[in-house]
Amino acid sequence: MQFLSKEIWFPPVEEATPEGILAVGGDLSPERLLLAYKSGIFPWYSEGDPIIWYSPDPRMVLFPHNLKVSKTMRKLIKKNEFEITYNQNFEHVITNCQHIPRKDQPGTWITDDMKSAYIKLHDIGVAKSVEVWQENELVGGLYGIDLGEVFCGESMFSKVSNTSKLAFVFLVQKLQKAGCKLLDCQVYNEHLASLGAEEISRQEFLKYI
| Mode of pairing for the β-strands spanning 127-134 and 137-146 | antiparallel
End-to-end CA distance of the chain, in Å? Answer: 22
66 DSSP 8-state letter: G
Mean pLDDT of 77-90: 96
Model pTM score: 0.94
Q: For the sheet containing 59-62, what is the strand order?
A: 83-86, 127-134, 137-146, 150-158, 182-186, 59-62, 198-200
At how many degrees (to 10) do helices 90-99 and 112-123 cross?
160
Element (H, E) at 79: helix 71-79
pLDDT (tens digit per residue) in 134-185: 999 999 999 999 999 999 999 999 999 999 999 999 999 999 999 999 999 9
pLDDT (tens digit per residue) in 106-136: 446 899 999 999 999 999 999 999 999 999 9
| Mode of pairing for the β-strands spanning 52-54 and 42-43 | antiparallel
Mean pLDDT of 4-26: 96
d(CA 130, CA 170): 8
Of all residues in the chain, what percent carry a pLDDT higher than 70?
96
